[in-house]
Chains A and B, each alone.
Chain A
Amino acid sequence: MLFYSIKRFGLATLVALTVSFISFGLLYLSSDPAIAMAGETASDADIEAIRKLYGFDRPILVQYLDWLQRAIAGDLGKSYYFRTDVSSLIGERLPTTMMLGVSAITFAIVFSVPLGVAAAIRPNSIIDRIALFLSVMGQALPSFWFALMLIILLSVNLRLLPTSGSDTWLHFVMPTVVLGYYAAPAIMRLTRTGMLEVLSTDYIRTARAKGLRPSVVLFKHALRNAIIPVVSLAAVQFGFMLGGSIVVETIFALHGAGFLAWESITRNDLPTVQGLILVFSLFYIVLTFLADLLNAWLDPRIRIS
């Protein structure tokens, strides 16, 4: 287990470094950062002065290492648009995104794992068909459309929920459902396939031949094995939600990191975009790493090898 964790950790660090290099390079890919800072109307001399001042004339690797050192210390530069530290800007917005992510993944799991299990117990039954229908819908409906439909129904017509903002938990209900429903189909399908596969294994037959009660066979022996890949998927989905909630946060005007991403992209605020990409990717990498550990913990064949 220790060796496995170290290997995974090393791998995660490598990926993180690569990602950091790419997001660093983003500034240079899009335009000359000196021109961007000085503004379109600046003279050549001014641009040259800024280039010297900020060190843009140094070799790229030196600049990267310098940038990396500061990034690790928490300094992600200054936002062009908000005129504040990118790190404190992101720090202010993250709790909202986190809250949305956690509630959405919880909703997705609570909704789709039991449905997947029920569908696997009776393949081709009514429940299985309903589950299939819901998952096809979840995959086919664009989130923005689903979000708008919910707003029309629940906010405009029934006046049950607020349309936008992030002040109370009520504000999070619709965004959670929209974002969670987006992740649910994959989790549901994987639970169903996993359960179907496990239920036909020899060790389930053994469990029944021992006279174990159906609930023990199902929830102890089968689900425990079927859930292992689902855990990985859910972790990846969660990482995806943290970064991918741009559409949902924008529609519901939740002032989270996704909304910030939208704001800074439309305003060409490169340092903020860069910082967000870095933070989102790191989340993703950390979550994948944690999912690997969780997987090993759940599966003795990985844990003890």
Chain B
Amino acid sequence: MSDRVLDVKNLSIDIPLAEGMLHAVDGIDIHVDKGETLCIVGESGCGKSLTSLAVMDLLPKKAIRRLERLDLAGASILDYSEQQMSDIRGSKMGMIFQEPMTSLNPAFTIGNQMVETLQRHRKMNRVAARDLAKRMLEKVGITAADQRLNQYPHQLSGGLRQRVMIAMTLLCEPELIIADEPTTALDVTIQAQILLLLQELQSEFDMGLILITHDLGVVARIATRVAVMYAGQIVEQGTVKQIFDNPMHPYTRGLMRCIPVPGKTKPGEPLGSIPGMVPSLVGKFTGCRFAERCDHVTDACRQSDIELRAESGKTQGYRCIIDAKEMAKVA
């Protein structure tokens, strides 16, 4: 497919720890097309950040990455050297991180940090690079861009810094942007602005966007497709409509019960929550990872690993032994 921006097949990440091997991510497939927003959701520690860092090849040194396929814009980058990877980082794919307060270097001006990115990837003199940086700041809604270029990160608010990060990531017009909880550290009012901005820019530049978030309200508004992660695996994926209207996996269903619905959820009524804890992923694990917390668990769930099964014409898939018909009954 020509407009496939990212294609990842069978990604696993192991981290050696003192207590044994942590299988943090196990057999993940994701893909993003041009102009599409893939939202990855799942609770803290399920491997969302590691997955995105693995795509950028920026994992911590001790982490061991295994992959069957890693294609960016139709070309395999699986066997790229560090040198080749650094050529495409920042130019063909960019990443926005959770902490705008610490993601920019305190010792250099905004202008300096933007210009260096451009000059790394494009043949451009300082003046032209500065000019482009200024226009990009304006594009992300920053006023008085000229002055901002001369300011240091600590002189800007968190929301502004995240806008700067977005502008910096967009400079070389990458085909793919990965945003790892870009608004978690910001005020609620600013969160919405930043997400809307990301969405706008994504369609303007016709990029692929991977957005990692905890916020299902956000997902409902801007996702094209959704991947639900649990304990290092994707337990369900599908279009945003499929996931919200017809969640199949018991974990996804649990998540959906956690969102308050205006008009339906009465004030004071407790929101759903999923009791229990995520299993330890140190050492070998067999069977369904959600079994401990699942209402529908049977012996079969613990005996062998569960494959991701395809439903609804293959765009939706989920990892559960209960098939669609039965699932409709238990709901």
A and B: bona fide binding partners: yes
CA A131 to CA B82, docked complex, whole Å: 28
| Chain A 193-209 per-residue mask, 1 if CB under 8 angstroms from chain B, else 0 | 00000000111011111
Report which residue of A202, A203, A211, A221 has the largest number of chain B beta carbons within 10 angstroms of its beta carbon: A211
On whether the beta carbons of B91 and A209 are closer than 8 Å, the reply is: no
On whether the beta carbons of B97 and A211 are closer than 8 Å, the reply is: no
Size class of the contact patch on chain B? 20 to 34
On whether the beta carbons of A210 and B89 are closer than 8 Å, the reply is: yes
A-chain residues with CB within 8 Å of residue B158 when the two chains form the complex: none
B-chain residues with CB within 8 Å of residue A300 when the two chains form the complex: 106-107, 109, 152, 154
On whether the beta carbons of A211 and B91 are closer than 8 Å, the reply is: yes
A-chain residues with CB within 8 Å of residue B121 when the two chains form the complex: 211
| Chain B 116-135 per-residue mask, 1 if CB under 8 angstroms from chain A, else 0 | 11001100000000000000
A212 contacts B by Cβ under 8 Å: yes
B35 contacts A by Cβ under 8 Å: no
On whether the beta carbons of A202 and B89 are closer than 8 Å, the reply is: no
State how many residues of chain A have any CB contact under 8 Å with chain B: 23
On whether the beta carbons of B120 and A203 are closer than 8 Å, the reply is: no
On whether the beta carbons of B89 and A301 are closer than 8 Å, the reply is: no
B105 contacts A by Cβ under 8 Å: yes
A-chain residues with CB within 8 Å of residue B58 when the two chains form the complex: 205, 208-209
B-chain residues with CB within 8 Å of residue A214 when the two chains form the complex: 82, 86
Report which residue of B91, B105, B154 has the largest number of chain A beta carbons within 10 angstroms of its beta carbon: B105
B-chain residues with CB within 8 Å of residue A299 when the two chains form the complex: 106-107
On whether the beta carbons of B86 and A206 are closer than 8 Å, the reply is: no
B104 contacts A by Cβ under 8 Å: yes
CA A185 to CA B194, docked complex, whole Å: 47
On whether the beta carbons of A211 and B88 are closer than 8 Å, the reply is: yes
CA A212 to CA B86, docked complex, whole Å: 7
CA A214 to CA B83, docked complex, whole Å: 9
B103 contacts A by Cβ under 8 Å: yes
Q: Which of A202, A213, A298, A304 contacts B97 (CB 8 A)?
A: A202
On whether the beta carbons of A203 and B56 are closer than 8 Å, the reply is: no
Within 8 A of A (CB), among B102-116: 102-109, 116
A-chain residues with CB within 8 Å of residue B108 when the two chains form the complex: 221, 224
CA A76 to CA B155, docked complex, whole Å: 49
Q: Which of A202, A208, A212, A224 contacts B116 (CB 8 A)?
A: A212
B-chain residues with CB within 8 Å of residue A210 when the two chains form the complex: 89-90, 94, 116-117, 120, 168
> With A209-B90, A211-B89 given, is the CB distance from A202 to B103 under 8 Å?
yes
On whether the beta carbons of A203 and B116 are closer than 8 Å, the reply is: no
A79 contacts B by Cβ under 8 Å: no
| Chain B 74-109 per-residue mask, 1 if CB under 8 angstroms from chain A, else 0 | 000000001000111111001101010011111111
Least CB distance from B150 to A in Å reads 10
A-chain residues with CB within 8 Å of residue B154 when the two chains form the complex: 300-301, 304
Least CB distance from A6 to B in Å reads 22
Q: Show 22 residue pairs from A and B whose CB-CB distance is below 8 angstroms, ordered by the A residue.
A: A203-B104, A205-B97, A206-B103, A206-B165, A208-B86, A209-B58, A210-B94, A210-B117, A210-B168, A211-B90, A211-B91, A211-B117, A211-B120, A211-B121, A212-B86, A214-B82, A220-B116, A224-B107, A225-B107, A299-B106, A300-B106, A301-B152
Interface residues of A (CB under 8 A from B): 201-203, 205-214, 216, 220-221, 224-225, 298-301, 304
